[in-house]
Structure formats: C-alpha cells, structure tokens
Amino acid sequence: MKTREPFKWVAVGTIWTWLALFALLPNAMVLVASVLERGQDQFFAFAFTLASYRRLLDPLYLSVLLDSLYLAALTTVLCLLIGYPFAYLLAQAPARRRALLLLLVIIPFWTSSLVRTYAMVILLKTNGLINQMLLGLGWISEPLELLYTTPAVIAGMCYALLPFMILPLYAALEKLDRRLIEAAHDLGAGRVTIFRRVIIPLTLPGIIAGAMLTFLPALGMFYVADLLGGAKTMLVGNLIRDQFLAARDWPFGSAASAMLTGLMALLMWAYYQSSRRANRGALP
C-alpha cells in the first residue's frame, strides 16, 4: 500500500524549486552571459562569442588576474601557516577548556568582515594606533605609510579569513586517530616523518576545505582592496564589480565570475579526492 505523503512532497518540492530558481538558474545564466556579445542598449546581444574569455588573457586584465591569484594564494598560505599550529593546539587542549577556545574562533567567523576590515583601517592609518605606538616608543620619527599598500591588503585578508581556515583544520585535527600516530611511532617513524606521512595526509581534507574557504573569498573581497589598498590594489572581485557597475560590460564580468566558479569546482574535486584517500587510510 502506498501512503500519501503530502509533507514529503511539499518539503522536497519547496527546496528543489527554490534552489533551481535562485541557485541553478542564475549560475546557468552567468555561463550563458559569458559567451554572449555585449549589447548596445541591452546588457547582452544574443550572439555567441568567446571574446570575453579571450579578453581575460589580454595583458591588461591578465596582470590583474595574476596579481589577485598571487595575493589570494599568499593569504591562503599565510593563514595555513598561522592556522595549522593553532588548530593543532586547540585540538590538543583539555576538553573542558576547548569549548571556550573554539567559541573564541567562532565569534570572529560570524562577525562582519566589513566591520573587521574597518577595524584594520583604524590600526593602520597614518595617525592610527600602530604609528602612534611606534612614534611613542621612539622607534620611528615619521609615521609609516601602512595604509593603501599591498601588505595592508594581505594583512586585512588574513585577518578577515583566518577563522575560515582554522575551523575546518580544527575539525580535521580533532578527528585525527591517535592510534595511527602511535602505530607510526612504534614502527620507528620519527616526528617529521609522522607529521609528513601520517598527520598531513589524514588532515588534507581539512587543509583543502580551509584553503577553499580562504582562497575563493580572497579573490572576491573587493571592499578589503578598496579600504586597505586604496586604488592601488585590484582583485578579481574589483574587476568583476567594475564590469557590472561602471564599465557595464556584463559578458566580460560574467566570464571572470565563471572563472571563479571553475576554480571552486577544481578545489571541490581536490577535496573529494583527498577525503577519499584519508578515509581509506582510517582504522575501523
């Protein structure tokens, strides 16, 4: 006997309809838009062209692209180098203190990155806190130009994105099976070998997840580049925004955005592969 289950159909129907309309359809439209020509009065003219993708390789835009990829990669590596030992210590902390320590990472995770970027501006301004302190200590005689520099953008992105690196790393390190480390130790592996051949491969899914949550936003956060980099630094995000709001070249902006989606797909594939490998190595 087949029972009627209206609740099931309402629940499944609603979520499917919503995601189809507001997630699948818009992203499909971006892909289509990226291969259309730029229109005269409309944003698009319905003719197929790969011109927008070719323009991404134009030296003018290619340099923005490469600079932005470099900044995002640097931010990701810095967050990983800072975040990995931190997450490791967090996972080792005694259980009763761990909840509080973790909460202190979760709070900035949810806090507005705009507000946090603005907090960085206060610190780095010409008459900001850091310059005042250095002047006060007599270490410098002239205030340093800290704001509107590339290092300021990197610092701001690390500041905004560090919690997004720490949390997935922590999740991976917390699950780490101590027995595997002991087994490696008993088999005569040194500390470096254990770290390189056991701990890193087993936490690789966490590393890739953290890299995904750091690298992709670091390409897009145009307000960090605006507020901390002035007009000097441009990210893919600034490029996309300008195409949609100033230059009105929507096909080109769509192509740049499709490229970000492609990068995301690549990282998700890497994550999938690494977690399969990590699970295969796990003890029952």
Partner 1 sequence: MSVKRAARIAYLLLIYGFLYLPILVLVVYSFNDSKYSLEWRGLTWDWYQALLDDPDLWQVALNSALIATLSATVATVIGTMAAVALYRYRFFGKTLLNGLVFVLMLTPDIVMGIALLILFTSLSLPLGFWTLLLAHITFSIPFVVVSVLSRISGFDRYLIEAAKDLGASEFQTFRRVLLPMLAPAVLAGWLLSFTLSMDDVMVSFFVTGPSFEILPLKIYSMVRLGVTPEINALCTLMLGVTLSMVLVAQALLRDRGT
CB 169 within 8 A of CB 218: no
Q: Is 113 or 203 the residue whose CB approaches partner 1 more closely?
A: 113
Q: Is the CB of residue 36 less than 8 Å from the CB of residue 48?
A: yes
| Closer residue to partner 1, CB minimum distance, 16 or 70 | 16
Least distance in angstroms from the C-beta of 283 to partner 1:
22
> What stretches of the chain adopt beta strand conformation (E)?
36-38, 44-48
Tokens representing residue 137 in the block? 């200590």
**Closer Cβ to partner 1, 20 or 281, answer by number:** 20
User: Which of 176, 194, 177 is CA-nearest to residue 185?
Assistant: 194
Smallest gap from residue 213 Cβ to partner 1 (A): 7
Least distance from partner 1 to the Cβ atom of residue 46, Å:
12
Least distance to partner 1, CB of residue 139, Å: 17
Counting beta carbons within 10 angstroms of the beta carbon of residue 15, is it exposed (0 to 12), middle (13 to 18) or buried (19 or more)?
Answer: exposed
CA 249 to chain centre: 26
CA dist., res. 180 & res. 151, Å (int): 40
For residue 214, with 0-12 CB atoms within 10 Å meaning exposed, 13-18 middle and 19 or more buried, which class applies? buried
Report the residue number, 21 or 200, with the smaller CB distance to partner 1.
21
Q: Could you tell me the smallest distance in angstroms from the CB atom of residue 246 to partner 1?
A: 13
Tokens read off for 169 = 């790393």
**Closer to partner 1 at the Cβ: 194 or 241?**
241
Give least dist CB 186 to partner 1, A.
Answer: 23
Task: Name the token pair of 70.
Answer: 């470099």
Counts of helices then strands in the chain (DSSP H, E): 14, 2
Closer by beta carbon to partner 1, 66 or else 89: 89
Cβ–Cβ under 8 Å, residues 161 and 213: yes
Pinpoint the alpha helices (H) of 20-94.
25-34, 51-56, 59-92
110 or 139, CB closer to partner 1? 110
Task: Give the shortest CB-43-to-partner 1 separation in angstroms.
Answer: 7
